[in-house]
Amino acid sequence: MRMRKMKQRQSSQESEELSQLQELLKQQISGLIRENERIKYQQYWLQQNEILTRIQDINEENYQLKYNIVEQRLINKQAVEKLSNNETQINTQKQLSRAENMEHIKNYVDDPEVQEFFFALIEQLFQQVCGRRLIELRGLFYVINFVETKQCQACQYFHFAPNKNNANNE
């Protein structure tokens, strides 16, 4: 009987130890589960922070790109304005130059020696083209009329016009 009692005691001690071990294991497992949840939570927030950081970096890059675009547009606008101003200046200079040239030409045309030489050249041109001698040249208007209409004042023939007018006059 003693043996039985001893065995019973031993068995009850073993079962108590097993219960304690089971309880200890349950506590450790609970601790590990809590630790695992805490790690998952930290990982989630780390990922969220990384995503937010990337979004902020992208937003900063976008802002910088938009700033660069606006800056480039301003530079382009200034360049266009500068080119426009340059074109205006060039056109003004051309107009002034033309006016000066016309004034210079008028001074020469008004000179009787130049007129005589010029009209002699025109008369020679008419003789070569028309074969008729011009009896009288009536000032610069006569020459301009010839240049604009291409009509010979000596014979009313269109010497430099297309062939359709030449056929009518021949």
- pLDDT tens for each residue of 102-159: 776 666 666 777 777 777 777 676 666 555 545 444 444 445 455 555 555 555 545 4
Name the nearest CA neighbour of 169 among 153, 154, 150, 155.
155
* C-alpha distance across the termini of the chain, in Å: 161
pLDDT band, very low/low/confident/very high, at 170 (cuts 50, 70, 90)? very low
Tokens of 131: 């074969």
Q: What is the rounded average pLDDT for all residues in the chain? A: 77
Measured CA angle at 120 (ends 118, 121), to 5 deg:
65
For residue 140, the model assigns a pLDDT of: 45
For residue 39, the model assigns a pLDDT of: 96
Distance from chain centroid for Cα 84: 16
Residue pair 154/134 in contact by the 8 Å Cβ criterion: yes
Say which residues have a Cβ less than 8 Å from residue 35's Cβ, sequence separation at least 6. Answer: none
Residue pair 158/165 in contact by the 8 Å Cβ criterion: yes
Residue pair 129/121 in contact by the 8 Å Cβ criterion: no
Residue pair 158/150 in contact by the 8 Å Cβ criterion: yes
Question: Model confidence over 37-64: pLDDT tens digits?
Answer: 999 999 999 999 999 999 999 999 999 9
**Beta bridge partner(s), residue 158:** 151
For residue 60, the model assigns a pLDDT of: 95
